[in-house]
Amino acid sequence: MGSAAGLFVPRRQLFVAQPVIQLPTIPNIWRPSVNGAGYLYPSLPEYTILHASRGNATDVETEYQNTVGWAQNPANELGWTWTIGERKYARHLAYDRYLYNAYDASRKALAAEFAQAREWWGVTQGQVEAFCAAWYEAWLFYGKRLPLLFFTHSEVEAWGWTRLVSGKTDVFSFRSPLADELRARILRQLASMGVTA
């Protein structure tokens, strides 16, 4: 705008400082499923299923390595998106593809297999960080449109979304408060990465 003397006075610009988002550096590997490329999702995945490996290892690292190996074992008929270890993850499928891991619910969901041999192991903070780094990658793949919905295998089975029932308790038993706690931890971690509803 001009001043009274006809001189140009530039309008002062106001800049609002944006928070700096620090994304965790999480090692990851590509280990394609033995069951092939999988099936194309019919639409945007509606949620993410939280599974647990329930193997026989006595520590998270061995359970992680065994679960990654199982994803590539010809005897395995199932498939999932990621195996989640302690601050690391392995991806087994392209983000627009699925294999069966929770019967009918598989067609609508990404799937994470946490290295958790026993329910009482819980899920470590390092595993939460690894899962969120993996999920963040898928979120970007889908143009930041993935819903922030995370359900345990035991929940989707109890709600009838799988159609068939096999008595699953992963990641935590149905109605366990630990499932809600895990969801809250995931959402806090994602929020720290700039992902909010």
Torsion sign (Cα): 174, 48, 103, 34: negative
Whether residue 94 lies inside any domain: the answer is yes
Whether residue 17 lies inside any domain: the answer is no
* Mean pLDDT for the stretch of residues 102-108: 96
* Residue span of the structural domain in which 100 resides: 40-192
Over residues 107-154, the pLDDT tens digits come to 999 999 999 999 999 999 999 999 999 999 999 999 999 999 999 999
Whether residue 85 lies inside any domain: the answer is yes
User: Given a cut of 70, is residue 19 above it in pLDDT?
Assistant: no
* Mean pLDDT for the stretch of residues 97-108: 96
Report the CATH number that the domain containing residue 186 is assigned in CATH.
3.40.80.10
Confidence class for position 8, pLDDT limits 50, 70, 90 = very low
Are the C-beta atoms of 148 and 197 separated by less than 8 Å? Answer: yes
What is the tally of structural domains in the chain? 1
Whether residue 62 lies inside any domain: the answer is yes
Chain centroid to Cα 112, Å, comes to: 6
* Mean pLDDT for the stretch of residues 91-96: 97
Whether residue 35 lies inside any domain: the answer is no
User: Given a cut of 50, is residue 9 above it in pLDDT?
Assistant: no
CA–CA–CA angle 17, 21, 22 (5° rounding):
140
Whether residue 105 lies inside any domain: the answer is yes
Whether residue 22 lies inside any domain: the answer is no
Length of the chain: 197
Whether residue 135 lies inside any domain: the answer is yes
Over residues 37-93, the pLDDT tens digits come to 899 999 999 999 999 999 999 999 999 999 999 999 999 999 999 999 999 999 999
User: Given a cut of 50, is residue 15 above it in pLDDT?
Assistant: no
Q: Which residues pair with 30 in a beta bridge?
A: 91
Q: Which amino acid is at 119?
A: E
* Mean pLDDT for the stretch of residues 13-39: 76
Which has more pLDDT, 149 or 167? 149
